């Protein structure tokens, strides 16, 4: 078994195993494309799998079957969009990592989208309808290897919608079964399915038991919290001690607080609640109105209540986050010293609430930057003066079908006239018909010479909206400017310098504009936004 490598056959980060026989067939299919004409239709292959395991061969089988289909139909394969571990129910085609990149940014590079089965592409009828509309608007075709789907015929369109409806019904049935299973397990004292909460593991008999190492971590955090140690300080200690998080990644204060606030520490079954936008675990009650116990407790109920009181007391210093987000120009403002993003923070004193910008790595936030609103205003003013006069340009997709059809028509007509003007031809019978045919032929040759070769190619065009970015930013909110700056890769370096006898530091701003910023400012409309 081998892993397929190379730029031409780039893999999804998940490992996919290829056997030697599969690799030989792959090379044979790729070599067969050399005999195709230069104007052969270009095919993009879509390979998708909801759950990837070490044993699965589905991605390999899908790709080889689609390459065989492309060879049978005379298509040249220009790319493979591999989206593995991706649910078609949750993620539509235009939002997937690889296929979405092709559909949004590489449209001119392919003519037809090949997929193994319709449920490999979509599992919602609305998503299928959107894809059909998009293909018709952009001159593309959808072809399935196992279903009668081909948008070049009315029957193929109808069959696509029928099969898509069946796929949606199947996905709905699966969702209902999964939901029913979870509803049932929440009422049971045994641990049947799902990942155990931090501090617990599953033994050989499928029972929920305490994990000794994770129990020690939680007990240490309990004691530290009761002594007044902050969650951020505990997180730093855990990271330095290289304590595993139990789920991959690195410890964070938010992750630690969620685990310390989880009633599962008392051995109770819990479910996730997102009331108010905050993720919290709440206790599941049984039919008798009491919490359902699924394991031995790591902390007693009295300890858990004391812990919550301490955490609540510390959390009172942080005001409620603003509805629109605490930080404007997030991703644009960066620290001049450590290079991390500047974020807005608020702390409540005895008299007033203080707002300031701080970075992540500098000690104490790099002195902070007081009065974030003044920083935002200065940044907006500098951006307006430098880029406000730039015209707003929009990227539009221009299919080359019309140009190709016109060129083909002119070339065929010229060939007919040249045949008719040969000795014995239709136009050579009388001087009048010869003269008129030669005049028409001359006009057609002139038209053919004047046809722009680019109009026969699918391409992106940049059109002006008639306004400037100053007008665009003045008519919209600050997030519109921030989004444009992030798209163009424009950042603003924030420096802070302490002045003698002045408590607040002096804040300096330096706008950093990449050389290709004006090209990246071009607005790319989302064809799937509706």
Ordered DSSP codes for 350-390: SS-EEEEEE-SSSGGGTT-EE-HHHHHHHHHHHHHHHHTTS
Tokens of 493: 């370096």
Quick one: pLDDT at residue 67?
95
Quick one: pLDDT at residue 11?
39
CB 346 within 8 A of CB 353: yes
Strands (E) located in 58-173: 76-84, 112-115, 141-144
- Angstrom distance (rounded) from CA 271 to CA 280: 8
DSSP letter at 15 equals -
Lowest mean pLDDT of 291-305, 356-370, 382-396, name the range: 356-370
- Angstrom distance (rounded) from CA 198 to CA 270: 12
- Predicted confidence band at 164 (pLDDT cuts at 50, 70, 90)? low
Higher pLDDT, 307 or 182: 307
- Predicted confidence band at 520 (pLDDT cuts at 50, 70, 90)? very high
Q: Which percentage of the chain shows pLDDT scores above 90?
A: 28
> Could you give phi then psi for residue 203, rounded to 5 degrees?
-85, -175
| pLDDT over 90 (residue 97) | yes
Quick one: pLDDT at residue 98?
95
| pLDDT over 90 (residue 112) | yes
Helix (H, G, I), strand (E, B) or coil at 439: helix
Helix (H, G, I), strand (E, B) or coil at 237: helix
CB 448 within 8 A of CB 379: no
Quick one: pLDDT at residue 179?
54
CB 281 within 8 A of CB 271: yes
Return the axis-axis angle of helices 154-185 and 125-138, rounded to nearest 10°.
150
Residue 93's CB: how many other CB atoms inside 10 A?
Answer: 25
Q: Identify the H or E element spanning 412.
A: helix 401-421
Among 58, 55, 61, 114, which Cα is nearest to 86's? 58
Report pTM: 0.63
- Predicted confidence band at 159 (pLDDT cuts at 50, 70, 90)? low
């Amino acid at each position: 078994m081998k892993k397929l490598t190379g730029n031409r056959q780039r893999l999804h980060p998940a490992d996919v195993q290829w056997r030697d026989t599969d690799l030989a067939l792959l090379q044979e299919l790729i070599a067969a494309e050399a005999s195709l004409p230069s104007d052969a239709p270009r095919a993009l292959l879509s390979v998708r799998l909801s759950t990837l395991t070490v044993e699965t061969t589905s991605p390999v089988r899908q790709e080889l079957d689609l390459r065989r289909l492309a060879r049978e139909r005379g298509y040249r394969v220009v790319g493979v969009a591999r989206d593995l571990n991706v649910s078609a129910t949750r993620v539509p085609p235009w939002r997937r990592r690889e296929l979405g990149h092709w559909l949004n940014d590489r449209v001119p590079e392919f003519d037809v989208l090949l997929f193994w089965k319709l449920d490999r592409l979509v599992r919602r009828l609305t998503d299928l309808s959107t894809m059909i509309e998009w293909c018709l608007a952009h001159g593309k075709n959808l072809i399935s290897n196992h279903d009668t789907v081909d948008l070049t015929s009315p029957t193929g369109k109808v069959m696509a919608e029928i099969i898509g409806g069946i796929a949606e019904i199947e996905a709905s049935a699966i969702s209902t079964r999964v939901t029913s299973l979870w509803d049932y397990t929440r009422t049971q004292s045994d641990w049947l399915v799902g990942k155990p909460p931090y501090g617990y593991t599953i033994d050989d008999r499928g029972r929920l038991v305490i994990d000794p190492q994770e129990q020690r971590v939680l007990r240490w955090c309990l004691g530290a919290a009761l002594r007044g140690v902050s969650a951020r300080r505990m997180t730093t200690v855990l990271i330095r001690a290289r304590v595993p998080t139990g789920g991959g990644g690195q410890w964070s204060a938010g992750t630690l607080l969620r685990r310390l606030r989880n009633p599962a520490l008392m051995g109770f079954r819990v479910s996730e609640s997102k009331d108010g936008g905050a993720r919290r675990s709440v206790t599941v009650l049984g039919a008798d109105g009491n919490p359902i116990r699924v394991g031995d407790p790591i902390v007693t109920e009295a300890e858990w209540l004391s812990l919550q009181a301490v955490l609540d007391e510390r959390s009172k210093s942080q005001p409620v986050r603003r509805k629109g987000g605490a930080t404007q120009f997030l991703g644009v403002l960066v620290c001049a010293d450590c290079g991390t993003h500047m974020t807005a923070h608020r702390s409540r004193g005895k008299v007033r609430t203080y707002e300031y910008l701080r970075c992540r790595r500098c000690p104490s936030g790099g002195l902070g930057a007081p009065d974030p609103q003044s920083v935002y205003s200065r940044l907006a003013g500098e951006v307006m003066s430098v880029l406000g006069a730039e015209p707003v340009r929009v990227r539009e997709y221009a299919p080359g079908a019309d140009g190709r059809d016109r060129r083909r028509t002119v070339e065929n007509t010229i060939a007919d006239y040249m045949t008719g003007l040969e000795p014995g031809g239709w136009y050579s019978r009388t001087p009048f018909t010869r003269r008129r045919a030669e005049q028409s032929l001359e006009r057609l040759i002139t038209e053919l010479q004047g046809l722009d070769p680019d109009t026969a190619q699918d391409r992106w065009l940049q059109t002006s909206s008639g306004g400037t970015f100053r007008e665009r930013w003045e008519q919209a909110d600050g997030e519109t400017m921030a989004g444009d700056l992030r798209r163009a890769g424009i950042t603003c370096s924030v420096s802070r310098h302490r002045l003698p006898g002045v408590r607040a530091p002096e804040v300096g701003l330096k706008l950093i504009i990449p050389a290709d910023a004006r090209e990246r400012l071009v607005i790319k409309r989302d064809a799937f936004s509706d």
